[in-house]
Chains A and B, each alone.
Chain A
Amino acid sequence: MLEALALPFMQRALLAGVLVGAMASYLGVFVVQRRMSFLGSGLGHAALGGVALGLFLGYPPLYVAIPFTVAVALLIAWVRERTELGGDTAVGIFFSLSVAIGIVLLSLKTEYAADAFTYLFGSILAVGPADLWAVAGVALLTLASVPLWGRWAYATFDRDLARADRLPVLADDYLLAALVAAVVVSAVKVVGILLVAAFLVLPPASARLLARTFAGTTVLAIGLGVAGAVAGLFLAYLFDVPSGATVILVESGLFLAALLFSPKT
């Protein structure tokens, strides 16, 4: 198994896996606690529209999909704030629209079909150098947001208390939504569009079962996310199956274990 580490594509996949595993779990802690899991799923699907647009225009798909999906996330946040529709309806509308755009663009040229398959299910072969740069860029942005953890956690706990202490709660909502979108897109090569929402939600959910504090949940979720991504990628290599499926299988196993060992049950 160690010989896999010598393969450049595997090195790239692992590096990307560690980074997106850490980022998705870090942001996923907020997503889960704010009950925005559906947003993750919606943004994963919105990424399909962005990827298709990238393929159609002939640019590296992630470089088009990231701004596209961030824009969709900001639109969703805006509709949620401005109307009484509720976040889930806003997510539903925009994610269907993006998927529809994606399907139209993909069916215009049949040679996209194979590419589209790796985006749907994830693949260890799919992470190219350009993708790795995109992932690294998003990782830097996420790292830059870490000092905001206390602010975001405070507003997650109680919006009004945070607002009374004059934290920029609304601006932070947009920032968080944009960052979640960027991270979701940067994870699709590894886990695929179909399963990226679970990738965002599973490690934080497992961590939540085991930890007593929000800080503890955050740290544990990152650890579980990284472990799940690395183990899943090796399994994908061993059995030659899409990496999205193996990563989520490992993370689901960890979740079941957390359920069994949870102190509250």
Chain B
Amino acid sequence: MAVEEAIRLEDVHVRFGPYPALEAVNLTVPAGAFVAVIGPNGAGKSTLLKVLLGLIRPTRGRVRLFGRPLERVPPSWIGYVPQFKTLDRSFPALAIELVVSGLRRRWPGRLLPGERAAAREALARVRGEGLSEKSLARLSGGELQRVYLARALIRRPRLLLLDEPATGMDVLGEADMYRLLEAYRDETGATILMITHDWEAAYHHATRVLVLNRRVIGFGPPERALTDECLRRAFGHVGHEHTLAFHPERRDA
């Protein structure tokens, strides 16, 4: 085994009552890959991430990260940016406290000088240097995304799990974010799994694309996974005016 496996799913099924959310998912992701996960709403994308986090136990199948069963993976190896900020806006907190919680894995009371410095640096990396002393309740959607990203990065994870991290970010912010993620991956060899609805971003930034709709419809390099055939099977139809913009085979058409 030349390249380490970051993620290995074998025959993973997840059911919510009678409803299957994931069926027979087999997936192997080599360490250092940048995987974009695409699929329609309700396809089980977030569910897949939660399975990797240990938040949802599969009804069947086996999950391994870095060759280990989940309970033997140190939590600090995984950085997570959740999809819907189920953020309780009434919770009194400063942005810097949320970032430090990523380091401490507890809610911080008094911040240590080292934690404060690390949090400021993480916020600066996501272009959120002005945010540290702001109340979470007062942040805009895009600012909140940055703070959550800083929270995930501060522990320097080997695996980054991002659930639609670009939601709410402006165009420049989005470009910055991809640059940042690519730089982090180059620097640390970390594996990134990012859910997105932006096929274009998936095409340009990911090394692999996973097309998911309850089952794995396609998985491979962007130009092989993002084919009309795969997208049609995942989404039911392909809006051609959308795909033309980025589709590899039609790029020069």
Binding site for B on A (CB under 8 A): 33, 149-154, 156-158, 160-161, 163-167, 208, 211-218
Contact = CB atoms under 8 A, between A and B. Distances in A.
Contact of B107 (A208, A214, A216): A214
Contact of B101 (A161, A163, A166, A212): A161
B82 interface: yes
Interface stretch (B26-34, B86-94, B195-203): B86-94
B106 A151 contact: yes
A164 B108 CA distance: 17
A164 B54 contact: yes
A160 B86 contact: yes
B80 A161 contact: yes
A149 B104 CA distance: 13
B108 A150 contact: yes
Nearest to B82: A160
A216 B54 contact: no
Sorted nearest first, the 6 A-B pairs with minimum C-beta distance are A150-B106, A153-B107, A215-B109, A154-B107, A165-B105, A164-B53
Contacts of A33: 88, 90-91
Given A157-B93, A158-B87, A164 B106 contact: no
The prevalent SS among residues of B at the interface is loop
A218 B105 CA distance: 19
Contacts of B91: 33, 156-157, 214
Contacts of B104: 150
Interface string B65-96: 00000000001001010100011101111100
A3 to B, nearest CB: 40
Contacts of A164: 53-55, 75, 78, 80
14 contacts: A33-B90, A149-B107, A150-B106, A150-B108, A151-B106, A153-B106, A154-B105, A157-B98, A158-B87, A164-B55, A166-B75, A213-B97, A215-B108, A215-B110
A150 B94 CA distance: 15
B135 interface: yes
A160 B105 contact: no
Interface residues of B, number: 27
Nearest to B98: A157
Contact of B92 (A151, A166, A208): A208
B75 A213 contact: no
B33 to A, nearest CB: 21
B20 to A, nearest CB: 21
Contacts of A212: 92, 94, 135
A208 B135 CA distance: 13
A167 B105 contact: yes
Interface string B13-24: 000000000000
Nearest to B73: A166
Nearest to B74: A166
Given A166-B54, A166-B75, A214 B92 contact: yes
Contacts of A153: 106-107
B151 to A, nearest CB: 9
Given A164-B54, A164-B78, A212-B135, A154 B92 contact: no
